[in-house]
Amino acid sequence: MKIAVILKKTIILVLVLLVPGFLYYLLVSKGKNRYLNLPVYGPKTVLKTTHKVGHNDVPDTLYHTLPDFKLTDQDGNTVTPKTFSKKIFIANFFYTHCKGLCDQMNTSINQLATGYAVSKMVYFVSISVDPQRDSVKALKNYANIIKPPSARWLFLTGDTASIYSLAHNGFLVNALQAGKDNFIYSDKLMLIDEDMRIRGYYSGASTSDMIKLGDEIKVLIKEEVLKNDTPMY
């Protein structure tokens, strides 16, 4: 009986010692990324060209990316895709007169932004669906109330046509004005990689989604760092 107990304890000890090392080897082996990358959302086109994966020729894929855009932040700075060169960002839509849902999303973003306040690689971008009222000055006042934990949380405005087109054709979410003080827009936060591809959608009102987003930001950082061999902070 004692032999069985000792044997059982020995097996458990071996597993405790070996499994973490084995998992680590699966995740990172010889400096190469071994885990599954996050999916890429949106339409995609399989090209006729190929690339090598091991000994196999794999078709190249052209993924959906955000179109070019030119918006303005709360400090009057122009923001374009180049602003996020070798960065990742989390985007959402809002407007300053919104209550309820926007407050929930602000709370969620604030918690995430606080956790990544020291990371120069991660930005947060809140785009107004009410640009006629949400001028640069209005966004600055709003930001002063929110008190972002870092300068990398940007509140953006622009012209209505550009913003709605960016929502529909870029982020692939709803954004429109249905009437006075009535805006229809998505509660999703979108995770965007440095190639302007959508890597995840998360409800700003869902605690479980926010936990998932926090985890997947780390996964995407790791992916980009290994791809570019750049520092994480």
- Domain shared by 75 and 159, yes or no: yes
**Residue 81 marked in a binding site:** no
Integer Cα distance of 57 and 52 in angstroms: 5
Integer Cα distance of 146 and 189 in angstroms: 18
For residue 2, give the 3-state DSSP assignment.
helix
Integer Cα distance of 215 and 208 in angstroms: 11
**Residue 125 marked in a binding site:** no
Q: Which segment of 56-65, 205-214, 218-227 scores lowest on mean pLDDT? A: 56-65
Global pTM exceeds 0.85: no
Q: Which residues have C-beta within 8 Å of that of residue 30, sequence separation ≥ 6?
A: none
pLDDT at 2: 53
- Domain shared by 16 and 100, yes or no: no
pLDDT in tens, 74-111: 999 999 999 999 999 999 999 999 988 888 899 999 99
- Domain shared by 26 and 70, yes or no: no
Both structure tokens of 41? 């959302």
- Domain shared by 80 and 11, yes or no: no
- Domain shared by 169 and 217, yes or no: yes
- Domain shared by 25 and 115, yes or no: no
- Domain shared by 74 and 148, yes or no: yes
Q: Is the per-residue pLDDT at 24 higher than 80?
A: no
pLDDT in tens, 53-65: 777 777 888 999 9
- Domain shared by 122 and 224, yes or no: yes
In a domain, 125, yes or no: yes
